[in-house]
Amino acid sequence: MSANGDPQSLEDEIADLERRLHDAKARLRLSETVVATPTPANDAALHALFLLSDSALPLGSFAFSSGLESYLAHHKPSPPSASQVPSFHTFLHLSLATLASTALPYVLAGYRYPADIDTLDNDFDASTPCTVARRASVAQGRALLTVWDRSFKAQHTTPATPANVGSGQDLSKGVAAIDALASFSASLRTASPPNAHLAPLWGLVANVLSVPLHDSAYLFLFSHARTVISAAVRASVLGPYQAQAVLASTELQSRIRGLVEEGWDRKIEDAGQSVPVMDLWVGRHEKLYSRIFNS
Amino acid sequence: MSYTSPFEKSTTKPGHGSIVLGLLPPNTPVLSTVSYQYPLKLVAPDPLPPPDHSEDNPSTPSLVHTVFLLTYGGGIVAGDSINLDIRLQSKTRLVLLTQGSTKIFKTTDPTVVSKQYMTVGLAPDSALVYLPDPVQPFAQTAFSQSQIYTLENEEGSLCACDWVTSGRSARGENWDIHEYKSRNEVWTVNTGVDGKSRRRLLLRDNLILDQSGQTSMQLSDRMDGYSVFGTLILRGPVFKSLSQHFLDEFEALPRIGGRNWGDTQLPELTPKEQRRAQRQQREKADVLIWSAANVRGFVLVKFASREVEGARNFLRDLIKEEGSILKSFGERAVLCLK
């Protein structure tokens, strides 16, 4: 093996090995992209996420401004022709913070502990201090329950969909959540019905539809932002393109992501109001001379 | 026969206190326990018969007791922890008061949170009026308080106010605190047919003011220029007419954004309407806003104002106008609103 001692042939050999390594890596990358073609499990969750994020989901959210209308009435610009956009941004900021500190813990708990839905509903009701906010939350919660009953239920009562075949544990969990939802929905027709607030039900329905927990929490806050922004368009504060720009902004993105992170481990006992004046704006909506929204 | 020496050493722990208001048959309420340990101090002046008491009306108790909640130095120093337990037996009435605002003093370490916990057990047919002065957290303070009321079978009457100010406004303090938390909860314990008792949450009012993360907005900016925030919780038969009064007056507030076009003849105002108009003008001058809501058997009043006096005037005017607290508990009940 005298050739091994020759520096020239050693260099050739190294170059050859490097080329083969490079080729092998390229082939591996190629096969990885082939593997990442749609898998049925991801599809089902993604499909459900689209259903829940659709602004045509019949929850009647368009009827509520979550206090924006009242806030604008309490903050008349002077002169009257001045732009209300800066004060809208303040409101959106505070409104999201409020929702994250009051309702988000219930979304997460509704997802994590489906069997506790009755207690969660009662405790959320006990923590909602004003009639206007309660009206908005109950109306949307009941609407979500109706959508489930009339539209989604048929797809999920037969649990043998490809999405949840796999591990047996997941299957029994899914069934427990469906049972909790079914008995809650049935108790609405009893003599002392629950309130059916949106937040805990949102978590529970997302669980049943096997939307990942983080996505459902993010979507809950995102939908709220969209509702408030769309209310701003109809209250002539923003134009439609401005509204899309706010909705698409990285600022909103990072704020929602941050709020979800911050609230991830917050217990429902520690849910509370971080913007006390928000309760007053929302509560005083009833005192507006003219109203275009229900909250 | 058991005998308790009046000179016996106290067994309570620092900051712990206990009040038990019992009933000597047939109709004489007595403070059977008033114990406390530094830094908490309780002062119970002689009980007074309520103005609405008469011999032929046995449904009202013959005496109303008053207890002042005090702390040495008039405030709570960093790291203090106060734990007060109050029991009201059936057919008793208690007025809880403070002497001046509860001052929260500066902490050098924001993680050292001063605490004040109060648990109150209300038997059916008992009533509590708790109208204290506001809590006044100074700059750089961390404070957490909770008031947990427990009713039996949803009975018992409660009138409790919880309000907080922005600090020493004369020194330019404006919500410059590290943290302020206040929790008000009302629970009911029901005994089911199986003999087991169940706790159920009736009301939770939880205020969390901290400088944390995503809200990323200075506390003072979050407060929209208000320096006082408060909640008044009303429940039960004793405060029924007062609750209704708050709801009626909220209903009678002028509409926001309404205009007087001058084409309607102003009718002669009744004395009540004149008083109302005067009060509303003062609320406007004080920049006070409020709302009242009837939820789950409670009337919940929320208010905010620029100055402490504005909120004080508002509470005092509405409570005095209606008058039932003064009749059933005497003038002392509104001492902190003077």
pLDDT digits (tens, 9 = 90+) for B173-202: 999 999 999 999 999 998 877 888 889 999
Q: How far does Cα B84 stand from its chain's mean position?
A: 15
Residue the block writes with tokens 């925030």: B229
- Do residues A21 and A148 share a domain? no
* Predicted confidence band of residue B10 (pLDDT cuts 50, 70, 90): low
- Do residues A186 and A94 share a domain? yes
Q: Which of A68, A279, A281 to mutate to test binding with chain B, by most B CBs within 10 Å of its CB? A: A279
Q: Has residue B100 been placed in a domain?
A: yes
Q: How many domains does chain B have?
A: 1
| Position B138, amino acid | F
Residue B33 structural domain: 16-235
Identify which of B50-59, B145-154, B261-270 has the greatest average pLDDT.
B145-154
Q: How far is B291 from chain A (nearest CA, A)?
A: 6
Q: Has residue B256 been placed in a domain?
A: no
For residue A91, give every residue at least 6 positions away whose Cβ sits within 8 Å of its Cβ, in sequence order, or none: A67, A68, A71, A72, A228
Q: Has residue B34 been placed in a domain?
A: yes
Over range A66-94, report the average pLDDT.
89
The helix (run of H) or strand (run of E) holding residue A127 is none
- Do residues A100 and A80 share a domain? yes
- What is the model's pLDDT at position A1? 47
- Do residues A11 and A111 share a domain? no
Instruction: Point out the least confidently predicted range of A38-47, A270-279, B46-55, B233-242.
Output: A38-47
Enumerate the residues of chain A whose CB falls inside 8 A of the CB of residue B228: none
- Do residues A86 and A229 share a domain? yes
- Do residues A29 and A51 share a domain? no
Residue A168 has pLDDT above 50, yes or no: no
d(CA A220, CA A227): 11
Using DSSP's 3-state secondary structure scheme, residue A41 falls into helix
Mean pLDDT for all residues in chain A: 87
CB contact under 8 A, B293 and A283: yes
The helix (run of H) or strand (run of E) holding residue B176 is none
Check whether the bond before B39 is cis (ω within 30° of 0). Answer: yes
The helix (run of H) or strand (run of E) holding residue B53 is none
Q: How many domains does chain A have?
A: 2
CB contact under 8 A, B300 and A94: no
Q: Has residue B76 been placed in a domain?
A: yes
- Do residues A126 and A185 share a domain? yes
Enumerate the residues of chain A whose CB falls inside 8 A of the CB of residue B250: 287
| Widest CA span in chain A | 101
Q: Has residue B266 been placed in a domain?
A: no
Over range A183-209, report the average pLDDT.
92
- Do residues A97 and A219 share a domain? yes
- Do residues A241 and A105 share a domain? yes
Residue bearing the bigger pLDDT, B5 or A28: A28
d(CA B186, CA B201): 6
- Do residues A26 and A139 share a domain? no
Residue A171 has pLDDT above 60, yes or no: no
CB contact under 8 A, B255 and A273: no
Taken in order A122, A126, A127, A131, the sign of the CA dihedral is positive
CB A290 within 8 A of CB A113: no
- What is the model's pLDDT at position A41? 54
Q: Has residue B258 been placed in a domain?
A: no
Enumerate the residues of chain B whose CB falls inside 8 A of the CB of residue A127: 203-206
CB contact under 8 A, B290 and A277: no
For residue B163, give every residue at least 6 positions away whose Cβ sits within 8 Å of its Cβ, in sequence order, or none: B134, B135, B228, B229, B230, B231, B303, B311
Q: Has residue A292 been placed in a domain?
A: no
Enumerate the residues of chain A whose CB falls inside 8 A of the CB of residue B183: 272
Question: Which CATH number covers residue A263?
Answer: 1.10.4190.10
Closest CA relative to residue B242, chosen from B131, B123, B92: B131
- Do residues A1 and A83 share a domain? no
Q: Which of A273, A282, A288, A295 to mutate to test binding with chain B, by most B CBs within 10 Å of its CB? A: A273
Q: Has residue A40 been placed in a domain?
A: no
Q: Has residue A190 been placed in a domain?
A: yes
Residue A250 has pLDDT above 70, yes or no: yes
Q: Has residue A39 been placed in a domain?
A: no
Closest CA relative to residue A235, chosen from A72, A102, A86: A72
Q: Has residue A53 been placed in a domain?
A: yes
Taken in order A138, A143, A149, A154, the sign of the CA dihedral is negative
Q: Has residue A262 been placed in a domain?
A: yes
Q: Has residue B87 been placed in a domain?
A: yes
d(CA A235, CA A91): 14
Residue A209 structural domain: 45-287
Closest CA relative to residue A268, chosen from A61, A96, A128: A128
Residues of B with CB under 8 A from a CB of A: 181, 183, 200-210, 212-215, 217, 221-224, 226, 229, 231, 250, 253, 255-259, 289-296, 300, 302-304
Residue A174 has pLDDT above 80, yes or no: no
- Do residues A51 and A27 share a domain? no
d(CA B50, CA B238): 13
- What is the model's pLDDT at position A294? 85
Closest CB to B208: pick one of A258, A272, A277: A272
Q: Has residue B10 been placed in a domain?
A: no
